[in-house]
Structure 1
Amino acid sequence: MPSRRFGRHPRRGRFGYRVVMASFAIVGVVVLAAFAVLQIALAAGAPLGHFAWGGKHEVLPRNLRIGSAVAVVIYVVFALFLLSKAGLVSVIGDPLLSVGMWVITVYLFLGSVLNLLSPSKPERYAATPATLLLAAAFLLTILTA
């Protein structure tokens, strides 16, 4: 087992450690995919507005539908960051990857707080734990990568 003195992480080469790291990333990608499905449905006019954007509209108005479509693109970018950090794809390189992961993680933790404060009960009860799980997946991927 390599020593930390030589600049190598003692567990990085182990298969089990890599599986754990990849598992965090995969959990995050699954949550992002679920969010993307919701946003696609919202952008298409599905009456699910109580789960997003503060829950004020059952069917989103045009500007929020556009926002939902943009959110899907953002989720794809988030997934690429997560998968790149876990070493499952090689799309984004350092230092953008390291800085971006921390920015996204902080953003997601703040999003969890905002979802918790939402006037919409469905958004509070569904989006808050999902966003918190996603933020934790990002954080754990950072800490284990």
Structure 2
Amino acid sequence: MIIAFIGGGLFLLVACLYTLLAFGFPYGEFAMGGKYTVMPIRLRVACGCSVLIQLFAIIIILQTADIIPSLFSIGITRGLCFLFASYLTLNAMMNGFSKSRKERLVMTPLAILTAFCFWITAIAS
């Protein structure tokens, strides 16, 4: 299912951004409210943890679409896909209210598109 590839690819872009943030690159205006240009240590750790969750979400969307072998039953995989779709929908709303213009303009549409891909994949599986 092409929509799962798109969703996984978009979320991989987010994971790359958060990896850069975890390593101290100055892209903080695109994430977590945009308060910091360079994330402080405690937020770098949070970014690193977020990357692991994002990579897991990519695996889940690809498994739900039956693109890669599933580690879990289809019911669990599909449920996790719905969970990530819900999270991304909430995330899109939160990004839309961010004080950071860069986060609103870049991350909000990215979260909306990714959420859409997760919703369609979960519903269509």
TM-score by length of 1: 0.82
Supply the distance in 2 between the matched residues of 1:48 and 1:87 (Cα, whole angstroms).
34
Task: Decide whether the 8 Å contact of 1:25 with 1:83 is kept in 2.
Answer: yes
Match of 2:21 among 36, 42, 46: 42
1:54 aligns with 33
Q: Which has the higher contact order (CA 8 A, sep 6+)?
A: 2
Supply the distance in 2 between the matched residues of 1:92 and 1:135 (Cα, whole angstroms).
21
Q: What does 1:118-137 align with in structure 2 at a 5 Å threshold?
A: 118-137=98-117
Task: Decide whether the 8 Å contact of 2:81 with 2:122 is kept in 1.
Answer: yes
Task: Decide whether the 8 Å contact of 1:81 with 1:92 is kept in 2.
Answer: no
Work out whether 1:111 is the aligned partner of 2:91. Answer: yes
After superposition, what is the alpha-carbon deviation per residue over 1:13-32, rounded to whole angstroms, capped at 9, x for unaligned?
xxxxxxxxx11000011111
2:81 aligns with 101
Supply the distance in 1 between the matched residues of 2:73 and 2:52 (Cα, whole angstroms).
19
RMSD: 0.9
TM-score by length of 2: 0.95
After superposition, what is the alpha-carbon deviation per residue over 1:40-61, rounded to whole angstroms, capped at 9, x for unaligned?
1101110111011110111000
Structure 2 letter corresponding to 1:118: S
Stretches of structure 1 lacking an aligned partner (at least 5 in a row): 1-21
By how many angstroms is 1:96 displaced? 1.4
Task: Decide whether the 8 Å contact of 2:64 with 2:74 is kept in 1.
Answer: no
Which structure shows the higher helix fraction? 2
Supply the distance in 1 between the matched residues of 2:51 and 2:31 (Cα, whole angstroms).
13
Give 1 or 2 for the bigger CA radius of gyration: 1
Stretches of structure 2 lacking an aligned partner (at least 5 in a row): none
Match of 1:85 among 48, 54, 64: 64
Task: Decide whether the 8 Å contact of 1:80 with 1:92 is kept in 2.
Answer: no
Match of 1:141 among 110, 121, 125: 121
Divergent runs of 4+, >6 A: none
